Copies of this chain bind each other. A is one copy, B any other.
Amino acid sequence: MNSWPLRPRAFADRRCLVTGGLGFIGSNLALALAASGAQVTVVDALVAEHGGDPRNLDGASSPIRVVRSDIGDGETVAPLVADTELIFNLAGQVSHVESMTAPMRDLDLNVRSHLAFLEIVRATNPGAVIVHTSTRQVYGRPRYLPVDEEHPTNPVDVNGIDKLACEQLHLLYAKVHAMRISALRLTNVYGPRQNLRCAGLGFLPVFVAKALRGDRIQVYGDGRQRRDSMHVDDVVRALAAAASCDGAVGEVFNLGHPDARALIDIARATLAAADRDDEVTAIPWPAELAQIDIGSFQGDYSKAKRVLGWEPFVSFADGIADTVAFYRERPWYLSST
């Protein structure tokens, strides 16, 4: 928000590797780590349409090394891993829709490259700490709310299936190979440095882009499905907490936010933050999205609170105001090039 989300010097001189570090969450994390004193290296494949952009690292408080590579490319990645203490493994493709139209690509990016990466870390630096970002999508349509980590996993699209396999591989390597790996299951995240131009990255960037462009916002169905949206600064704090907590090893943690709101209310609040007072309209579900919709979701993050000492700080009102202000100052996020 107004200052960096991590304490100054909290990561002083720590050697950190952020995969997917040119993307939305990765770039916010890389900047926050650099601001708290870390030596940060970013690995990013800059896969087209996935949201990564070198400009996301503009304004870094200390130099951030950027290496363009697939995380599974041992020749490039092994030397970086060998020289790292903390690995934040955020690379991946996030579009549920694209995972259905190009499923092989989703498998390669979200599972195959990660398994290769785990093998690289195991071979070159098995003592490194790894925090992996998983997703609430592994649960599928919730059987009860709020959803805790014991809720059965039942993903409803290729992306969810692949992300679940990827998370399971990470935790298996923690258990079987005694590696220091933990995983966070993220819910809908919004904030600065999100790609507002690509479709398929979730409803929040769509709402923000439409609010700022003056376009109407439409929600599917009755718009009453609820989401516990999180500001990216809270995710950055959770990633830092997991990397700093021995008790996190081998464990998976939900993140979440107590303020679960209906999609139509999230849309209205986003419009209001952009100083607009027009109405949100509800339209029927498109068929291809109805099939993979999960209804309402709220995560139970009491395990993260208990073990990591983490809970979200940023209210939706503050977070969305900060987000709108950020993009207003940087109109290139909205433009098509």
A contacts, CB < 8 Å to B: 100, 103-104, 107-108, 111-112, 115-116, 119, 150, 152-153, 155-158, 161-162, 164-165, 168-169, 172, 175-176, 291-292
Which applies to chain A's interface (DSSP): helix, strand, loop or mixed? helix
* 30 A/B residue pairs, CB under 8 Å, sorted by A: A100-B176, A103-B115, A103-B119, A103-B169, A104-B112, A107-B111, A107-B115, A108-B112, A111-B111, A111-B165, A112-B112, A150-B152, A152-B152, A152-B153, A153-B153, A155-B168, A155-B172, A157-B172, A157-B176, A158-B169, A158-B172, A161-B165, A161-B169, A161-B172, A162-B165, A164-B165, A164-B168, A165-B165, A176-B291, A176-B292
Given A103-B169, A176-B291: 17 more A-B contacts, CB < 8 Å = A100-B176, A104-B115, A104-B116, A108-B112, A112-B112, A152-B152, A152-B153, A155-B168, A155-B172, A157-B176, A158-B172, A161-B165, A161-B168, A164-B165, A165-B165, A175-B291, A176-B292
Q: How far is the CA of A163 from the CA of B337 in the complex (A)?
A: 42
Q: Are A112 and B103 in contact (CB under 8 A)?
A: no
Give the distance in Å from the alpha carbon of A162 to the alpha carbon of B166 in the complex.
10
User: What's the nearest-Cβ distance from chain B to residue A89, in Å?
Assistant: 16
**What residue of chain B has the Cβ atom nearest to residue A161's Cβ?**
B168
Query: In the docked arrangement, what's the CA distance between A37 and B11, Å?
Result: 70
With contact pairs A153-B152, A161-B165 given, residues A119 and B107 touching in the complex (Cβ less than 8 Å):
no
- Closest residue to A168 on the B side, CB-wise? B161
A165 to B157, CA, bound (A): 11
Return the chain B residue nearest A155 by Cβ.
B168
Looking at A116, A119, A172, the one whose CB has the most chain B CB atoms below 10 A away is A172
Cα of A169 to Cα of B153 in the assembled complex, Å: 14
- Chain B residues closer than 8 Å to A112, beta-carbon distance: 104, 107-108, 112
Q: How far is the CB of A20 from chain B (nearest CB, A)?
A: 20
Please give the distance in Å from A319's CB to the nearest CB on chain B: 33
Residue of B nearest to A291 (CB): B176
Cα A327 to Cα B168 in complex, Å, equals 39
The answer for the CA separation of A244 and B112 in the assembled complex, in Å, is 35
State the CA gap A158–B177 with chains docked (Å): 12
Complex contacts, A107 vs chain B, CB 8 Å: 111-112, 115
With CB as the reference atom, state the residue of chain B lying closest to A153.
Answer: B153
With a cutoff of 8 Å between Cβ atoms, the chain B residues found around residue A108 in the complex are: 112
How far is it, in angstroms, between the C-alpha of A156 and the C-alpha of B155 when the chains are bound? 19
Interfacial chain B residues near A119, Cβ < 8 Å: 103-104
Residue of B nearest to A292 (CB): B176
Q: A156's closest neighbor in chain B, by CB? A: B172
Chain B: minimal CB distance from A75 (Å): 16
A118 to chain B, nearest CB (A): 8
User: Inside 8 A of A292's CB, which chain B residues have their CB?
Assistant: 176
